[in-house]
Structure 1
């Protein structure tokens, strides 16, 4: 080995140890490794930050922004609305949720797909009085599997596509991953829905956990053209049951009608009085075609993204002993007191005319920046993790249309994927689906820094002959084996690495090595690259292997060992299914 190779191998070994150790953030580890590579002479200073302009990095960032836009517009909710149905068996529920999760993960970031569907899964478990731990891990695994179906479904696919372009001059296209990814996803979903969930332990901690137990009394207006018009209040109870919202009554001409007004027909301009959690009320409003937003009262800018924030009213607050109307909160500050919670008590007075008391929890609605200013001005205390962005459901079809057009333009060869996604992001911003703040918040910057930092190191390893050295060693040690067996070994090793390393880092290290192995065997590199793409995504053994596994650990009540129960046989299944599938669609 040359001195340069020894330095790069030592640096990579150190980085891998630190990444597995996990005590230092992986983006800081990667960036520190990049600086060390520059100081050590392995990476030219002029090329140090080339990774930040790499197409793979740009695509990952844009896919995250597009995912946020589709969630904001209610496109994901629209697709997932069929998922909740009473009376399904556990296997049937897992099958439906997994299929939807995999399908969504194929076109948006799989973390965003899981976060949206996780709330639906928790709600379904609560209604069925079923342990959430039985269904949440299958859903997480399904969203991971679905990400393999297209190039934009998961970052490793994007990385592998770009590495192929660097090696051959031609990247994998959007749907080149589909045949192999789809077969693996179908096999994986069948497993988790029929056998996998039965392998999970059933400890007492795997019980349904309430995400938000606070129940507010709120009012929502019936706008022109609402689907609730001409229906009786009692007829809206079905929608209320689906979203765990109680319809308490009706306000007409500024006056609350007697009782629950069950037989009263709803008319345009009426206000429905609702009781439920923040998210439940927001979901009911969308399903019933109501309008709590009154955007013209929030600064006159109709495109603004609105947010709901829960806050406790302490003694001495400006709200203490006063009403929202007396403070003219909506007209002077552009923020609405949308709901109020007082130890589960129901009210007869209008929400904005209620005298607020210390200890009450208020639900404030308005543009994010204004809500933050009003919270400070009122002297109330926002509750951590109790902010909920309002979904712009009326723009769901437009959001889906622009995203589909971007993908179609790429597949047809009219433009590149980064440009098509960038145009879609601009359209989302112009439509008000995304605010400037949300564009930046959507990007998972640690992943961007990790990817951009490791790309120059990976190129340095390749140019120094390090990848060829590793490949020659692999081939020499397995010279008696056929090419398909060596492919299987590479998939298994890559999959094991991904269980403990970030999947992007795994793909960046394994993909160049797989190309050199293919070259040494004098066979096509494509099946080896496809094997790396599959293996880098399939991290099912640990809660640290994939962000989705980490997200579900708390809500599902899982222990570290629970992931092995279903994850180990699933990984074995994926290896067994992927190898013949890869060789069929991508012959050696």
Structure 2
């Protein structure tokens, strides 16, 4: 055993142990392991760092930017609603897995997860559940869908290339569907039932503080063109919102309370909600639903204006600037929370008389008072020490007032930037164009023979980068926001893992493992050998590169089939499926790594949920493959 081989196996074992113990962040562990291998001379710096220039890593980063564009324009909310429907954590998991699996059958899995990751996190917030309940199923479902077609995952193409190289019949587009589709169906059923119970309910800090969350009462006005106008409360989806309660509707001086599911919402209605800050953010993203500025227009003075805010132009003595305050969009404004200090001049003053806008360049939207539920008119609330105010302010508010003696605490509310609804169609068009462009090469691989230049342009890397650039150029996402949207921990983790995989290949560790495996299980029957090959393939794939495992086990399977005197295709089909179905470790597949951090997962979570799925897929595959691709002796051909 050479020094390089020995060093690689030891470092790899230590990396797995460190990831299992979870005392250090996974990306740090993987980077340290990679640096040790480079320092020991197992691989060169160029080979070690090549993972960071890998097409998958670049695609992941670009898809994060595309996702940010969809989120900042509200297009992601539409996609989320289309997948999720009305929030219901009992049925939503099964509903969202099917379209993801279908999409992954014709697209590369990595960009799918990169896009749907923020969508699923947003779903978790809407359902008031931990993201850990959704993100492992997202990763696993893309893997299952990828097994259904030739282009579903790159490992299928590796095995197909091996078949062509050896002069055997190549795979057709849907040949793998005979085994992949049943595996995907069984896998989705497992994830929706048994696997769902095994998923961790790992709350983040916000959820950990759920029992101490600050609840606000906020009043929103229904503007002309609002998507809620003309709908009943139930039809508008406002009846059973997680973390949010609609308790009052004001219309033409009359009050409707309590609110019934059949009550209809009309233009200029004032809707009073009780909820936490994150749910207020969700309300502001509804087109045409705006918070009332209690400095300039309090509920007591409201009248129904048939022409909307423009009717204010006819009021004598009302300057145009006041009209703008009512009608103007919240461009460049964010939500912030401030806690009133003992020395604040706001103590003992009602919100209506506080002159908050003129002094702080912000407006009070809602108030939280510990131990007391405030349901009266917000403009009449007299502020006290310790009151928490939810304010609508410019993006410089935090810097100006963070250290002010007027407030004990000043903090921003996550994801509260105004939504550019007018650009939603642009963002959605870019996203659809990206999906179509990525799928063209899958359905028409012959394009490469017609025009290499066109084929290069339709490459997932080129397409995703183009989509990201268009999102920025069209104003769907700010350049600064696009930088923040890229999760660098995921980029570092995947890039370092690819470098570690290169070390396993360069050191000869993959061939050493294959040789020992072949010697150990020599002499078994075809069915038993198929099960052994499948088991060994998914086991190796949990720790090695999926493509490297597919290439290595394809060669090994051919050698075993020739030795047994049978047609190798059943074994090779098993290799193609098993090399992708790596569910039991976070490093088994790139998408598993991508959801590791955002889901707050631990190494053991993948073992608990993924290992049973590994064996379920193995049982289905081993039973179906001999029936579809029989074991035929070479002498009989």
CA shift digits 1:158-212 (9 cap, x unpaired): 8858988999999x9999998876543421222344555678999xxxxx99947
Aligned equivalent of 1:435, options 468, 478, 496: 478
Change (3 A) 1:273 1:460: closer
TM-score (norm 1): 0.72
**SS at 2:274's partner residue?**
strand
Relative to structure 2, which stretch is displaced further, 267-276 or 463-472? 267-276
Relative to structure 2, which stretch is displaced further, 357-366 or 70-79? 70-79
Tell me which residue corresponds to 2:536: 490
CA shift digits 1:409-449 (9 cap, x unpaired): 23334421112111222222234443334323332222322
Q: How many residues align?
A: 539
Structure 1 residue 241 and structure 2 residue 239: aligned?
Answer: yes
Tell me which residue corresponds to 1:398: 426
Distance 1:382 1:444 in 2: 26
Change (3 A) 1:348 1:118: closer
Distance 1:371 1:423 in 2: 34
Distance 1:390 1:582 in 2: 53
Give runs of aligned pairs for residues 463-542 of structure 1, distance below 5 A. 463-481=506-524, 482=526, 484-494=530-540, 497=542, 506-508=543-545, 511-522=547-558, 528=575, 530-536=577-583
Structure 1 residue 446 and structure 2 residue 476: aligned?
Answer: no
Tell me which residue corresponds to 1:34: 34
Distance 1:317 1:587 in 2: 82
TM-score (norm 2): 0.67
**How far 1:383 moved relative to its partner?**
6.2
Change (3 A) 1:268 1:326: same
Tell me which residue corresponds to 2:450: none
Distance 2:577 2:40 in 1: 33
Relative to structure 2, which stretch is displaced further, 57-66 or 327-336? 327-336
Relative to structure 2, which stretch is displaced further, 41-50 or 371-380? 371-380
Aligned equivalent of 1:418, options 451, 458, 461: 461
Aligned equivalent of 1:359, options 362, 375, 386: 386
**How far 1:493 moved relative to its partner?**
1.8
Distance 2:505 2:607 in 1: 35
Change (3 A) 1:50 1:488: closer
Give runs of aligned pairs for residues 123-142 of structure 1, distance below 5 A. 139-142=134-137
**How far 1:224 moved relative to its partner?**
3.3
Contact 2:511 2:552 in 1 (8 A): yes
CA shift digits 1:514-560 (9 cap, x unpaired): 4223223336877535422221477799xxx8776887789xxx997
Contact 1:540 1:563 in 2 (8 A): no
**How far 1:100 moved relative to its partner?**
6.1
CA radius of gyration, larger in: 2
Change (3 A) 1:429 1:322: farther
Change (3 A) 1:515 1:251: same
Contact 1:487 1:579 in 2 (8 A): no
**How far 1:241 moved relative to its partner?**
1.7
Change (3 A) 1:3 1:209: closer
Change (3 A) 1:404 1:120: same
Distance 1:222 1:369 in 2: 28
Aligned equivalent of 1:116, options 122, 145, 166: 122
Superposed CA RMSD in Å reads 5.2
CA shift digits 1:89-139 (9 cap, x unpaired): 95x56533554676788634354343222234448xxxxxxxx9xxx9874
**SS at 1:274's partner residue?**
strand
Change (3 A) 1:89 1:116: closer
CA shift digits 1:58-106 (9 cap, x unpaired): 12222333334434444443244364659x895x565335546767886
Distance 1:76 1:176 in 2: 34
Distance 1:139 1:391 in 2: 25
Tell me which residue corresponds to 2:63: 63
